[in-house]
A and B are shown apart, each in its own frame.
Chain A
Amino acid sequence: MNDALLIDRLQFAFTVTYHYLFPQLTMGLALLIVLLKWIGLKKNDERYHRAAKFWAGIFAVNFALGVITGIPMEFQFGTNWARFSRFAGGVIGQTLAMEGVFSFFLESTFLGLFLFGEKRLGRKAHFATAVLVFLGSWLSGYLIVATDAWMQSPVGYLIGSDGIVQLRDFGALLLNPWALWQYAHTMLGAVITACFVVGAVGAYYLLADRSHQYGELFIRVGVTVGLIASILVLFPTGDQQGKNLAHQQPVTLAAMEGAFTTQQGAPLTIVGQPDMDKMKMDNPAHIPNMLSFLTYYRWEAEVKGLDAFPREQWPDNIPLLYYSYHIMVGLGTIFIAILLVSVFLLRKSRLFHSRWMLWILLLSFPFPYIANSAGWLTAELGRQPWIVYGIFRTVQGTSTTVSAGNGLFTLLGFLGMYFVLGVLFIFMIIRKINKGPEEPIDLQSSHTSG
């Protein structure tokens, strides 16, 4: 791995991971805001509108950061991955351009109306703007996932005589089976993040003995929606993703699971440290036959291990891939447990007085961010050493004219810039949470004359 390639990869990985901290909350909150406003309209209950307004203030800051950190992503395909862009632009340019033309205009326009226009528009029209912001952000998510899905499982293309990929079937690109499951899985992950954040703010209010009615409302919405999402993220969406992998990227599945050798009745590794020199798992904790069952629904099915594939097809960072996957799955399981207990206590009307559970809800909000990031790391590390699975390798994709020195300059620049942005973001969010929902952030302040 020469330096420029390493720096290009680090820069993309860093900027995209940082970027995705924001959209996951944006997309999840968009759904919850629509839900809150809808309940508010149906019950004609002012509290829900206020709650929606409170979260809209947080949404707005978060959205702005998502936009600011998202622009570099679109640029970096060209700046750092010029040969990849030239190779694949005819296909993935479609979905990326569609995102700009369809979702960005939709989101930016109606977010402005949603934030500034409640009084001018009236209740119903204001609800409609919330729905359109939700649609815009979820459409954006789909087009990005469809782009990634094509890189994971290329469809609907042909390679021209010049060695460049051309689009052959637009429908296949948009309805890539890989994209549909990955999208459902990703969006549910985003909803889980939003639910934990909403729940954590609610728990904070109750523990701090303030804003009781909103605290209870936030927790109720957060844990209820969160439980549904955290179950669906495991089954069927996560399960189907695994099936897709077994079918199309079996070597990735083997690496994720830490399966070094091909076995019938393969065990599922719960914990353990992969030792790449000795090609074995240290300190493993297994569930016998479980991997065979989960992958093929047969206890004795044969699951291919890494030894079944030539080395040049192995993902290039197997330990990190293995840990990312196990962190994601492990946290996902813990989320279900936390939310099950919370919903149980909620039904028994004990949740709001169980301080220990409120503490758990308060402290657990960072973990969905970790799980979502780990999930993306799993997907993208698992795709290596390919940039487009099976047809174009990552080493072939960089910009030949951009030197390692120039790459490092901008990588360091991004580190500095994002550190400052992160500090400002946290500061503003804390201020908004401390201000609380009773004095709603005055989104349209006084009237506008003229």
Chain B
Amino acid sequence: METLWFCLVAFMLAAYVILDGFDLGVGIVHLLVGRNAEERKQVLAAIAPYWDGNEVWLLAAGGTLYFAFPLLYASSFSGFYLPLMIVLWLLMLRGGGIEFRHQIHHPLWISFWDTLFSVSSILLAIFFGAALGNVVRGVPLNEEGYFFEPLWTTFTVVPDAGILDWFTILMGVIAGCTLTSHGALYLAMKTTGTIQERSRSIASAAWWSVAGTSALGLIATSAIRPQIWGNFSTYGWGYIFPALALCGLCGIWVFGRKRRDAAAFISSSVFIGAMLSTTAFGLYPNLLPSSIDSSPAITVSRAAAGTYGLNIGLVWWIIGIVLALGYFSFVYRTFRGKSTPETPVSEGY
């Protein structure tokens, strides 16, 4: 049962990264792809009906994590206190950037919110990557399973490292590159004309950075946490995840060359999903490894809530997610098509 919930939470987080990932990515390339207020409006229109629905996946994943693994929720949220709060503020500023931008038609007002939207998107991508890096690297848990990390200490990977050390920064950079590519591919699919052309050229440049940093990340992870490959040697079928990631990466390249934008974007989603699955597969049964040798990691069985609650939860969770997937396909169908200069942005919002 705990294993199933591990998979479900991982699924929700992956859905969040893929979905909110594209609108974060759009934020990263926002200032490059759109060169004036009109073009930038068109860029925003491509994500306007979706972005807050995408963000709900983070909330739903957080809630599900809370109910299925209370200890993990308690430990990681208090341990990552500062970066989480900063992420919250960035999410607020970014939401403000999208919502407030259209309220006043003054160049200064618009360029202020555009810049804020883009900068907060970049920082969020890096922080999310660094968060994943912390989970892979392990954190200094005490016997009760709690910890606290400052933002940084010496930037080296030591047992009492901060949130940011060279390894987690590298992971942040990987996340930044990946979402840049993801967002650019999304825009190539959803726009036309100049914006589409610019998105395509950013995407093809970003591909190299994704491939390069991911290779670096692979080497660094093997050096920092070789245990992550343990599950793969025990259960050989796990290699399907890195293999899928490789396929996704190739797919982005091939379809990108052929200008099949939708296929390239789907490949990018596969790449992200498979990379996260690889990480989750390698971590299991740990939810949060310990960087202190004497204290044990937080594992799925240690963190899980009572069996009765987990069973009941499965019933409503499945109903809820099926409904949510239904809504999503309905919205994406209703607002399908490209974003053009006439597409409305969130005026009333």
**Interface of A with B (CB < 8 Å)?**
56-57, 60-61, 64, 67-68, 71-72, 74-75, 77-80, 82-83, 85-91, 93-94, 96-102, 104-106, 108-110, 112-113, 115-117, 120-121, 160, 164, 166-168, 170, 399-403, 406, 409-410, 413, 417, 421, 424, 428, 431, 441-450
Contact = CB atoms under 8 A, between A and B. Distances in A.
B56 A108 contact: yes
A105 B88 contact: no
Interface stretch (B175-183, B228-236, B280-288, B304-312): B304-312
Contact of B96 (A68, A82, A115): A68
Nearest to A398: B78
B308 A101 contact: no
Given A91-B309, A98-B316, A112-B331, A77 B66 contact: yes
B56 A424 contact: no
A82 B146 contact: yes
Interface in B64-91: 64, 66-68, 70-71, 73-79, 81-82, 84-85, 88-89, 91
Give the top 6 A-B pairs by smallest Cβ distance, nearest first: A78-B77, A89-B70, A93-B67, A166-B306, A101-B320, A97-B63
A242 B249 CA distance: 63
Interface string B124-160: 0000000000000000001010111000000000000
Where chain A touches its partner, the secondary structure class is: helix
Contacts of A168: 308
Contacts of A67: 52, 95
Given A77-B66, A167-B312, A428-B100, A90 B305 contact: yes
Interface stretch (B22-30, B270-278, B337-345): B337-345
Nearest to A160: B306
Interface stretch (B165-173, B289-297, B322-330): B322-330
6 contacts: A75-B77, A85-B73, A105-B324, A403-B148, A417-B89, A450-B192
B17 to A, nearest CB: 16
Given A64-B99, A74-B62, A113-B334, A402 B346 contact: no
Contacts of A447: 342
Interface in B26-80: 48-50, 52-53, 55-56, 59-64, 66-68, 70-71, 73-79
B67 A96 contact: yes
A448 B59 contact: no
Contacts of B59: 71, 74, 100, 104
Nearest to B82: A406
B9 to A, nearest CB: 10
Given A85-B73, A100-B59, A401-B147, A68 B92 contact: yes
Nearest to B349: A60
Given A108-B53, A447-B342, A102 B67 contact: no
B335 interface: yes
Contacts of B62: 74-75, 100
Given A75-B62, A101-B64, A441-B348, A94 B89 contact: no
Contact of B68 (A60, A93, A110, A449): A93
Nearest to B313: A94
A263 B179 CA distance: 68
A391 to B, nearest CB: 16
A115 B349 contact: yes
B348 A102 contact: no
B321 interface: yes
B13 to A, nearest CB: 13
Given A82-B75, A105-B324, A166-B309, 13 more contacts: A57-B348, A68-B92, A85-B66, A85-B70, A93-B305, A106-B327, A108-B52, A109-B324, A400-B146, A403-B148, A417-B92, A442-B348, A443-B344
A410 B335 contact: no
A102 B324 CA distance: 8
A155 to B, nearest CB: 14
A445 B48 CA distance: 14
A97 B60 contact: yes
Contacts of A109: 53, 324, 327-328, 330-331
B103 interface: yes
A80 B74 CA distance: 9
A67 B346 CA distance: 15
